[in-house]
Amino acid sequence: MTDPVKDVNQNGNYDASHIVVLGGLDAVRKRPAMYIGSVSGTGLHHTVYEIVDNSIDEALAGYCNKINVIIGKDNSITVIDNGRGIPTDLHPKFNMSALEVVMTKLHAGGKFDKNTYKVSGGLHGVGLSVVSALSKNLDITVKREGKIYHQKYQCGVPVTKLEIIGECNIKDTGTTIHFWPDDSIFTDTVFDFQILETRLRELAFLNKAIHIILRDERIEADDRDTEGNVKSQEKEYYYEGGIISFVEYLNKSKRAIHPAVLIAKAKDSVDVEVAIQYSDSYNESVYSFVNNINTVEGGSHLVGFKTALTRTLNNYIEKNPSYKEKEKLSSDDVREGLAAVISVKVLEPQFEGQTKTKLGNSEVKGIVDSIVSSVLATYLEENPKTAALIIDKAMLAAKAREAARKARELTRRKNVLEFSTLPGKLADCSETDPKKCEIFIVEGDSAGGSAKQGRKREFQAILPLKGKILNVEKARLAKVITSEQISNIITAIGTSISEEFNIAKLRYHKIIIMADSDVDGSHIRTLMLTLFYRYMKSLIEQGHIYLAQPPLYLIKKGGQKYYCLTDKDKDELLAKIGTDVNIQRYKGLGEMNPEQLWETTMDPDLRTLKKVTIEDAVEADRIFETLMGDEVAPRREFIETHAKEVQNLDI
């Protein structure tokens, strides 16, 4: 493809003011990751959010209630909103249309109005110009003042004039942006329905009463999934209840113990919305947002919420004569089984932290604290039955925590007495630098035996597991640590768990789960991942957890051996070398001899490992709840769609 930047300059079709602007967008094309985080899937999907965020801003300003996102057959994206439409009149400063300023000028953003909360301009809020710069083609259509305007861009450069192409009803307004991400920039140009769905659903929860519709035109009406169900082509997200619906969604596969509570108030131009609902589970699902951005690292709004929750519940116990024991609840106690969404809108948010997802504005802490304290105290007074359920639950959590602490102390003392810190089943490696060490946690004693014989003992340790491990999703900490299999895993890894987790004590930088490629193996992988997710989450976040990929097939032809990881690999290979081959399908790891196990699954030079990552915490939380709950069908479906197909397992 020719470079439109050069074309424009050579043709001289545009005046000098463009050159400055182009210079700006050139930087975006040279170092795209600086603007959208990455050029892989994450960055690709970010381009969609960037546009949708602008439409959401229109909605927050009160002018838009419908946003359509369409994934085209050719992997293009169209975002249609019914907002006011991007202004098309001449921008006096730049001597071009306001639309062209927005599409070509870095950081022009959408809005010139400082008094509204902006979603765009937030985390990566870099403006539409960045999407335009990173699209090989972009068509924009605006309906405004009874006219339909249209302009085309290539790599951020306008290639047509802004033209009026028709007329419409004066009340009919909005913006349509159709773009094709540049495949010379993005390493991945295939949009993932589920990734877009997660964010769009989240936006619909956080901004109530907006219709957000996602359509996938790559799917034919008669496309079916592996179970034979017609795949869904279009989904609409619309939540009148806003974040109340969000916590109900988080608790969908749990048993809630009271109706969700909404706390919503504004103070000193900070808009605070909090929804809370306790369930009978032991896990905490608390999510915080600032201007619709998921503040994964928390910040002042979250601190304000946690402080207020703990103090308000303790005050209630203190004042209420029916509680004889005036148990002091900790912040952890009051969050056991809590689903909560804290959503604040702040005029000038300061984002801090490693991933710029921590709210720094210190004034927000006090504002959230005072709003949550006063509204929640009133709620508890007015709803004594719900109050009693919540307090009883937190008191149980406090007792369990105390019991767990005692049990842990006991285990520690026992270990000291027996001098046996490492489990007897562990075949450890000889290298002592954790960076160079890896541990294989292996399903079954026979595969464990082959792995011990096949390994390079300098840096590879083997811990065989006998059968399934405890489902930690359904057990309290006190029980989890009494399980022998689990305590073996914990001691071998070295970091301990929960509050006592210490990454500095990690004994292996690669922790590799090695299980069969069948349903039982999937279950074991999931049980292991649940343990890591709930009790040693940093191991996943810091990229220490991997899944081994044993081959499904051994194919021999003409003295050559080929291993295939998937059915697709096998079919492709057979297409190449012919089908008159000797094909062996492995039923399990146990069928491989030590040498085969080494060369297919363990040898760092030949093996494939999947790194486990957490793409989206809300979904990961729900997935574990679904996986470890009682429903079998959704569990199997998840494992089939996620565990085998993707390179990095996104939980």
Spatial separation of the C-alpha atoms in residues 262 and 275, rounded to whole Å: 5
Judged by DSSP in three states, 290 sits in strand
- CB nearer to ligand 0RA: give 68 or 549: 68
Please count the other Cβ atoms lying within 10 Å of the Cβ belonging to residue 616.
18
Closest approach, Cβ 649 to ligand 0RA, in A, equals 34
- For 65, the token pair is 């209630």
Tell me if 515 sits within 8 A of 588, measured CB to CB.
no
d(CA 199, CA 156): 25
∠ CA 14-17-23, nearest 5°, is: 95
**Per the residue annotation, which of 458, 518, 572, 645 is the catalytic one?**
518
Q: Which CB sits closer to ligand 0RA, 3 or 172?
A: 172
Shortest CB 179 distance to ligand 0RA, Å: 12
Whole-number CA gyration radius for the chain: 28
Instruction: Report how far Cα 87 is from the mean position of its chain's Cα atoms.
Output: 35
Tell the burial category of 501 from Cβ atoms under 10 Å away from its Cβ (0-12, 13-18, 19+).
Answer: middle
Instruction: Please identify, using beta-carbon distances, which residue of 69 and 260 lies nearer to ligand 0RA.
Output: 69
- CB-wise, 64 or 564, nearer to ligand 0RA? 64
CA distance 116 to 110: 12
Q: How far apart are CA 481 and CA 408, in angstroms?
A: 8
Reduced to 3 states, what is the DSSP secondary structure of residue 141?
Answer: strand
| Residues 6 or more apart in contact with residue 108 via CB below 8 angstroms | 101, 102, 127, 129
Which is nearer to ligand 0RA, 175 or 310 (by Cβ)? 175
> Is there a catalytic annotation at residue 392?
no
Distance CA 428, CA 114 (A): 61
- The yes-or-no answer on residue 518 being catalytic is yes
Helix axes 193-206, 41-60, angle to 10 degrees: 30
The smaller minimum CB distance to ligand 0RA, of residues 97 and 281, is found at 97
Q: Considering the complex, what minimum distance in angstroms separates the CB of residue 571 from ligand 0RA?
A: 44
* Rounded least distance, CB 171 to ligand 0RA, Å: 14
Q: Are 79 and 55 in contact (CB under 8 A)?
A: yes
Cβ 322 to ligand 0RA shortest distance, Å: 55
Report which residue's Cβ sits closest to ligand 0RA.
54
Tell me how far, at minimum, the Cβ of 46 lies from ligand 0RA, in Å.
15
For ligand 0RA, the closer of residues 110 and 298 by Cβ is: 110
| Nearest distance in Å: CB 74, ligand 0RA | 22
Least separation in angstroms between residue 99's CB and ligand 0RA is 8
Question: Closer to ligand 0RA at the Cβ: 78 or 600?
Answer: 78
H or E stretch covering 30: helix 16-30
Question: Alpha-carbon distance 473 to 242, whole Å?
Answer: 28
Q: What is the DSSP track for 296-342? A: TT-BHHHHHHHHHHHHHHHHHHHH-TT--S-PPPPTTGGGTTEEEEE
Q: Both tokens of residue 296?
A: 């994964």
DSSP letter at 232? P
Residues in contact with ligand 0RA by the rule CB under 6 A? 51, 54-55, 58, 81, 83-84, 86-87, 102, 110-111, 175
Pairing of strands 174-181, 135-144: antiparallel
Identity of the residue numbered 306: K
- The Cβ-side half-sphere exposure at 249, using a 13 Å CA radius, reads 19
516 catalytic per annotation? yes
- In the complex with ligand 0RA, the residue whose CB is nearer, 54 or 488, is 54
Quote the least distance from Cβ 81 to ligand 0RA, whole Å: 5
Residues in the chain: 651
Rounded CA gap, 561 and 550, in Å? 15
Which one of the listed residues 192, 271, 284, 520 is annotated catalytic? Answer: 520
Contact present, 295 and 372 (Cβ < 8 Å)? no
Helix, strand, coil % over all residues of the chain, rounded to 5: 40, 20, 35
Examine the residue annotation and report whether 520 is marked as an active-site residue of this protein.
Answer: yes
Rounded CA separation 87/233 (Å): 33
CB-neighbour burial class of residue 117 (10 A; exposed 0-12, middle 13-18, buried 19+): buried
What is the helix (H) or strand (E) element at residue 125, kind and residue range? Answer: none
Question: What are the angstrom distances between the C-alpha of 153 and each of 18, 54, 75, 79, 437?
Answer: 13, 18, 18, 16, 51
User: Which residue, 104 or 175, is less far from ligand 0RA as judged by CB?
Assistant: 175
Instruction: Select from 505, 476, 477 the least CA-distant residue to 491.
Output: 505
Judge contact between 649 and 547, C-beta under 8 A: yes
Q: Choose the catalytic residue: 216, 516, 616, 625.
A: 516
53, 336, 369, 443: the catalytic one is 443
- Closest by CA to 621, choosing from 501, 539, 533, 513, is 533
Q: What's the token pair of residue 314?
A: 């303790």
Residue carrying structure tokens 């801090």: 352
Nearer to ligand 0RA, 95 or 187 (CB): 95
Return the number of the residue (55 or 132) whose C-beta is nearest ligand 0RA.
55
Residues forming the active site: 443, 516, 518, 520
